[in-house]
Structure 1
Amino acid sequence: MYLLGIDIGTSAVKVSVIEAATQQCVGSARYPDIESEIISVKPGWAEQSPDMWWDHVKQAIARANAARTYDPKEIRAIGIAYQMHGLVMADGEGNVIRNSIIWCDSRAVETGNEAFDAIGHEKCLSHLLNSPGNFTASKFAWVKANEPEHYTKTSTIMLPGDFIAMKLTGEVTTSISALSEGVFWDFKENGISADVISQYGFNREVIPAIRPVFAEHGKLTNAVAGLLGLTAAIPVTYKAGDQPNNALSLNVLKPGEVAATAGTSGVIYGVSDHLTYDQQSRINTFAHVNHAVGADRLGVLLCINGTGILNRWTKNLFASDTGYEEMNGIGKQVAPGSDGLRVLPFGNGAERMLNNKIVGVHFQHIDLNLHTRAHMFRAVQEGIAFAFRYGLDIMRENGMVPNVIRAGRANLFLSDLFTEAFVNATNVPVELYPCDGSIGAALGAGIGAGIYASPEEAFSNSKPLSLVQPHATELYEAAYQEWKTLLERQLAIS
């Protein structure tokens, strides 16, 4: 018996098939081989085609099946993880109306700020645990104000994972966790926020039926089953945003446990049992996958938009003929601190932890007689690590003080250079695991289908690969304080 996990990333779709009894991955595939396009018609805008995601899902599943390491007909449940906060709009027939406005799009910042003032700061924070900000609700309000021809055609709005589940099953559902990441959920009233609906003038009917994260969200249709080589009526039993799902994949479910990831964006995600919020909404609080009314489990999330995307940009510009592993090795030839070269890594839209300012990427203190591309490679990864430290200090101000952070050995955590910079800049050990989002989604499907009696059973075979301890904190602290001074100067003029 097998479980299929689908991870809808910004750069690609990854699928994994897990043998339920052993929790071991028996097959996986990624599509496409090159990173997916982000459409940016104007500065600060970012869109992708939902139909592109669906095509990539089909291609990735076909690749995994073609390896013949499992019998696709023996898959018994499907789980979906997805890039958070994206807006998918569909008509009554389920047809996509426009490209998805994705997580790193900044166009709705002012829309959210106006709603924050109109509803009231204290009420937003105490009920929504966030400002409306640049989240899904505000994106939809921007469409309503600026593209009324698209708004009037809209029968339902979805997050990216909801859309893929609809393509698989024909059903449209959501969850409290999903609604909270869109800033539609009122935690005090335990329902859809009347304030948000009223402020933006939405029709309540555009919001899909609400089901638990671990529950049936529809069954695979006959047509799609035939297309994918799977068995008809397989249930989709789990849907979660990529960061709650990353935490699940690392078995981060209890208050005080903390996960991190460093893909296109970077995230630290801690679990709390209190309705906590940051007064400036620099970090955000959403319902975790195991949240329930009367048993609060909240994910406190720090997001940095410009992490892996900057590392990719650096590679494309300075090392297009070099693999990431070789690039990391070149960077390690330079001593920690990069001989004074500093990088502010904020070039992927408005940064919530910087009060939604668009700061951009800055290279500081370049010495043309000293610095080489090796310095560039190291300084970029150190700059990303320093951004994590800056955000973690905000989380510490809000009571999230981790003793250890769990991360999958993937993306930037494949780089020993970055991992060293991260643990020394934050002064927190990192426990690395052999998992990724698609594996977490598959195990989530097993929980939702009742194949596992509990999350503890689903992760009973999960063992860390290594524990990376801080060892040069004073050296990195000095470099960080210089970096922080440069950031504060830039914020003052942004």
Structure 2
Amino acid sequence: MYLLGIDIGTSSIKVAVVDVETQKSIATVQYPEAETEIKSVRPGWAEQSPADWWENTKLAILKLNATNLFNPKNIAAIGIAYQMHGLVVVDENQDVLRDSIIWCDSRAVEIGEKAFDQIGHQNALSSLLNSPGNFTASKLAWIKENEPHIYRKIDKIMLPGDFISMKLTGNITTSISALSEGIFWDFQQDKISKAVMDYYGLDYNFIPEINELFASHGVLTEEIALFLGLTAGIPVAYKSGDQPNNALSLNVMKPGEVAATAGTSGVIYGVSNSLTYDPQSRVNTFAHVTYSPEEKNTGVLLCINGTGSMFRWAKNTFAPHLNYQELNTLAAKAPIGSKGLNVLPFGNGAERMLNNQYTGAQFLGIDLNIHSQAEIFRAVQEGIAFSFRYGIDIMREIGMEPKVIRAGRANLFLSEVFAQTFVDVTGVRVELYENDGSVGAALGAGIGAGIFNTAEDAFTHHEVVATLDPKNSAAYEPIYQEWKSLLMKTLK
């Protein structure tokens, strides 16, 4: 028996088939091979086409089937992970009305700040655990204000994973976790936030049916099953934003456990059993996959918009002919501190941990006589690691004190330079695992479909593949402090 996991990423769609007995991936692919474009018609805007997500999902699954490593008919359930905070709007025929305004779009920052002031800072933080910011609810308010002709046609609003689930099943559903990441959920009242809906003047009928996260969100239609070579009637039994799902894939489900990822964006995600919030809303709290009104497990999330995207830009700009492994080898030739070259990797929209400021990415201290490609690529990776340290220190301010961080051996964590710098500058041990978002989504489907009796049963074969301990923390501390002082000078 197999489980299918779909990960709707910003760069591509990744899908995996997991064997229920071994809990391991037996086949995984991504589509397309080239990174998907982010449409930015104005500075700070970021959109993608939901139709492209759906087309790429279908092509990814067909590519997965073509590996001939499993019988697609033996897939028993489907799970979906997705890029968080995006807004998809459809009409009564389930037709998409406009491109999705995705997670790194900054157009609704001012709208969210006004809402924060009007709702009241303490009221918003204590009930929403966040400011409205430029999250999904504020993006919807932007459409209402700027595109009323589209707003009038809306029947339902969705996050990206809800949209893919709709295309697979014909059903539109959501969950408390999803609503919380859109800043629609009142944690004190455990219901849709009246304060947000009323302030923005949003229609409550736009909100889909609320299901438990680990549950059937609909079953695969005959038409789609025939096209994809799957069995009609199997459930989409799990949907989660990519960061709660990444935590799930690393078996980070209990209070005190912490996960990290360094893909297009960088994230530290810690589980808490309290309604924790940052007074400045630099880090954000959402309902974790294990949240319930009885057991209020939350995920405290630090997001850095420009991590993998910063590395990709540097590659395409300075060494397009080299692959990422070759860049990592090159970076390792430069010394710690990159001979004084500093990089601020904040060029992918307004950064929440910088109080929603947009500084742009910056190279500081370039010396034309001593800096080469090696220093450039090491400085990029060090700058990204330093931004993680800056964020972890914010999390420490609100009571999160990670002792061990779990991460997938993927993306930037494939680089020995980045991984060791991350450990050295944060001072925290890192455990690396092979699981990724698509595998986590598949295991989540097994939990939601009742194939695993408990969430713990889905991780009985979970193994650490590498452990990294701090080695150069003393050397990095003054270098980090210099980097931080440069960052402070750029902030308003």
Query: TM-score range, shorter-chain basis?
Result: over 0.9
Q: Is structure 2 residue 326 aligned with structure 1 residue 350?
A: no
Provide the residue aligned with 1:381 in structure 2. 381
Residue 277 of structure 2 corresponds to which residue in structure 1?
277
What is the CA–CA distance in structure 2 between the aligned matches of 1:385 and 1:151, rounded to whole Å? 41
Residue aligning to 1:202? 202
Aligned counterpart, 1:327:
327
User: By how many angstroms is 1:4 displaced?
Assistant: 0.1
| Displacement after TM superposition at 1:412 (Å) | 0.4
- SS of 1:86's partner is coil
Aligned partners of 1:91, 1:322: CA distance in 2, in Å? 45
Deviation, structure 1 residue 83: 0.1
Q: What does residue 24 of structure 1 align with?
A: 24
Letter in 2 for 1:233: G
Shift of 1:302: 0.2
Equivalent residue, structure 1, for 2:412: 412
Residue 137 of structure 1 deviates from its aligned partner by 0.1
Distance in 1, Cα, partners of 2:316 & 2:229: 37
- Residue 139 of structure 2 corresponds to 139
Partner secondary structure for residue 23 of structure 1: coil
Shift of the alpha carbon at 1:339? 0.5
**CA–CA separation in structure 2 for the residues paired with 1:78 and 1:398:** 36
* Alpha-carbon distance in 2 for matches of 1:362, 1:320: 20
Q: Report 1:168-247 matches (<5 A).
A: 168-247=168-247
Q: Is it true that 1:112 corresponds to 2:91 in the alignment?
A: no
Q: State the shift of 1:29 in Å.
A: 1.0
Equivalence for 1:337: 337
Alignment of 1:407-446 (within 5 A): 407-446=407-446
- Aligned residue in 1 for 2:261: 261
Q: CA RMSD in A?
A: 0.4
Distance 1:416 1:77 in 2: 36
Secondary structure of the residue aligned to 1:329 is helix
d(CA) in 2 for partners of 1:212, 1:338: 49
Could you tell me which residue of structure 2 aligns to residue 309 of structure 1? 309
- TM-score, length-scaled by structure 1: 0.99
The 1-side partners of 2:484 and 2:407 are apart by: 25
Equivalent runs, 1:284-295 vs 2, <5 Å: 284-295=284-295
AA of the residue aligned to 1:101: I
Q: Which amino acid aligns with 1:96?
A: V
Aligned to 1:395: 395
Distance in 2 separating the partners of 1:433 and 1:22:
15
Q: Quick one: distance in 2 between partners of 1:9 and 1:32?
A: 11
Partner of 1:37: 37
The aligned amino acid for 1:8 is I
Give how far 1:440 is off. Answer: 0.1
Note the C-alpha offset of 1:211: 0.5
Distance 1:261 1:414 in 2: 11
Using the TM superposition, give the Cα deviation of residue 294 of structure 1 relative to its aligned residue in structure 2, in angstroms: 1.7
Instruction: Give the whole-Å Cα distance in 1 for the aligned partners of 2:14 and 2:328.
Output: 24
Q: What do residues 188-236 of structure 1 show as CA deviations (whole Å, max 9, x unaligned)?
A: 0000000001000011000000001100000000000011010000100
Cα distance in 2 between the residues matched to 1:260 and 1:308: 13
The code of the aligned residue for 2:346 comes to F
Deviation at residue 24 of structure 1 after TM alignment? 1.4
In the other structure, the counterpart of 1:75 is 75
Q: State the alpha-carbon separation in 1 of the partners of residues 419 and 225 from structure 2.
A: 41
Letter in 1 for 2:240: A
Deviation at 1:323, TM superposition (A): 0.8
Write out aligned runs for 1:46-85 (5 A).
46-85=46-85
CA distance in 2, matches of 1:94, 1:319: 44
5 Å-filtered alignment, 1:120-135, equals: 120-135=120-135
Provide the secondary structure at the position in 2 that maps to 1:259.
strand
User: What's the offset of the Cα at 1:464?
Assistant: 0.6
Query: Which residue does the alignment assign to 2:468?
Result: 468
Distance 1:240 1:486 in 2: 37
Structure 1 unaligned residues grouped into runs of 5+? none
Q: Structure 1 residues 312-321 or 379-388, which shifts more?
A: 312-321
Letter in 2 for 1:418: F
SS of the counterpart of 1:360? coil
Question: Aligned with 1:5: secondary structure?
Answer: strand
**Structure-2 separation of matches of 1:403 and 1:122:** 30
Q: Structure 2: how far apart are the matches of 1:454 and 1:466? A: 27
Counterpart residue identity of residue 222, structure 2: N
Amino acid at match of 2:350: A
Counterpart in the other structure of 1:489: 489
Task: Report the counterpart of residue 250 of structure 1 in structure 2.
Answer: 250
What SS does structure 2 have at the residue aligned with 1:142?
helix
Say how many residue pairs are matched: 492
Letter in 1 for 2:390: Y
2:397 alignment partner AA: E
Return the alpha-carbon distance in structure 1 between the equivalents of residues 477 and 297 of structure 2.
33
Cα distance in 2 for partners of 1:490, 1:197 equals 36
Matched residues in 2 for 1:25 and 1:104: separation?
30
Q: Which residue identity is paired with 1:434? A: E
* C-alpha distance in 1 between matches for 2:448 and 2:18: 15
1:336-378 deviation digits (Å, cap 9, x = unpaired): 1000000000000000000000111111110000000110000
Residues 14-43 of structure 1: per-residue CA shift (max 9 Å, x gap): 000001111111111100010001000000
Aligned twin of 1:5? 5
Aligned letter for 1:177?
S
For residue 85 of structure 1, report the CA deviation from its aligned partner.
Answer: 0.1
Could you tell me how far apart the structure 1 residues matched to 2:90 and 2:120 are? 31
SS of the residue corresponding to residue 18 of structure 2 reads strand
Percent identical among aligned pairs is 63
Q: Point out 4+ residue stretches in structure 1 off by more than 2 angstroms.
A: none
In 2: Cα distance, 1:283 partner to 1:138 partner: 17
Aligned to 1:346, the other structure's residue is in SS state coil
Partner SS for 2:357 = coil
Task: Tell me the secondary structure at the aligned position of residue 157 of structure 1.
Answer: strand
